[in-house]
Structure 1
Amino acid sequence: MAAHAADTAVTILLVDDERTLREPLVDYLVGQGFVVLEAESAAAARSLLREKKADLALVDIMMPGEDGLSLTRHLIETQNLPTILLTAMGEATDRIVGLEIGADDYVTKPFEPRELVARIRSILRRAGRTAAGDESEDAHYLFEGWRLDPLKQRLTDPQGTVIPISTAEFRMLRAFLDHPRAVLDRDRLLDMVQGREAHLFDRAVDNQVSRLRRKIEDDSKQPHFIQTVRGGGYRFAADVTRVPG
């Protein structure tokens, strides 16, 4: 289990045993301005919530051990936690039961992440919470004088000069900016930047990083921003803030 911080007070608990769904969804939610508490089971979620507080839960219904319906009932009864169920196509009865025990909504896998975020924000508004990520679609990234406009995919250096970057370079840079100072291994970067369906390989990540370093580093051979972590991947070694576009 893990916690992923973002620049907002709204915290989402994500409980799903499928790593291939959970990790990309964590990346997307963090990119939208949420803090994400990640758990692979109901037991892990219960343990996590003994130390941390969430504002809304996303709970997979079908999990090994304690199922999502039991966990949802617990979250509602003990914490009155707004909950969205993550369900498979054939789980209509479970969806009904989930709504009957107090779940606020459900989405059916596979789902569109933007739709899920819209539902999250709607539920938070009804609960009297404001998601600071509401403006994050066009919020610019700032790091040591550099600026990245995510809508225009435009990178500007500290002198105000626009630095041309490809779509692939933009995706790679945004992945780093969404996870400042975190170590990202090559598999995680592939998932965030291209998706596993792209059939890329580790060397492709290294090549993209090399090209990006040439764009933003004073000395690409002694990088300040994108640092290599031996045996671990890469880390963006600077603080990142977001401001309205």
Structure 2
Amino acid sequence: MTIDPEPTPLSGAPLIVLVEDDPAIRTLTTRALQQNGYGVRPASSAPEMWRALEAGPVDLVLLDIMLPGTSGIDLCRALRQQSDVPIIFVSAKGSETDRVVGLELGADDYIAKPFGTSELIARIRAVLRRGALDRRHGRPEQGLLTFDGWQVNLSRRELKSPSGSLVDVTGAELDLLVSLLEHSGRVVARERLIELSRTRLGDSSDRSVDVLVSRLRRKLSHGETPAPIVTVRGIGYMLTAAVTRS
């Protein structure tokens, strides 16, 4: 069966760019997405992905990690430099390291092969629903969050140290920090942090949240002053600093 490389979606249907180099998987996934009401622009490599994105606005990118030439990791990094389009990584590699790397680069979710159509559609709907909630709630958020001399610029998505220098944080780290700042002084369960974060951090049974918290602590340590994030054993994390919003 031949799939039209640029099928016409139903009016108003979300449009997905599917980047998958395996012809059989690309065909089956395209068909499954179309049967569930999505428009699809299939691509098998980096050049085809860029052409698909240039063809018009898209709502989501399904991006395989193992691609010929430029890898999905490199494509995600490049895409995040110019677009906030939701990204779901799709790969046979399902290790925790791969998930964390993908999330730190700005991916919104991660699904490992082999996967069922129902799981894929559920994850796509969840990511698109989070994006719709962001728009409904007026994101990107405005204003500044200040704590212990640190400052988070919500609209620019920047973190400044007490000395005024910009701190290099990933999208996943910043989303996690904002979630803790918005619940300062309260213990936030790991499961709740996953729900609150704009970026999907992974399942509560894995260590994605713990890894990101550990990296945040290192970046928020200032001189001999430790980061104001404490672990509440068996429950989750709490930010102990007072937070002001302006």
TM-score by length of 1: 0.50
Structure number with the bigger relative contact order (C-alpha 8 A, sep ≥ 6) is 1
Q: TM-score, normalised by structure 2?
A: 0.50
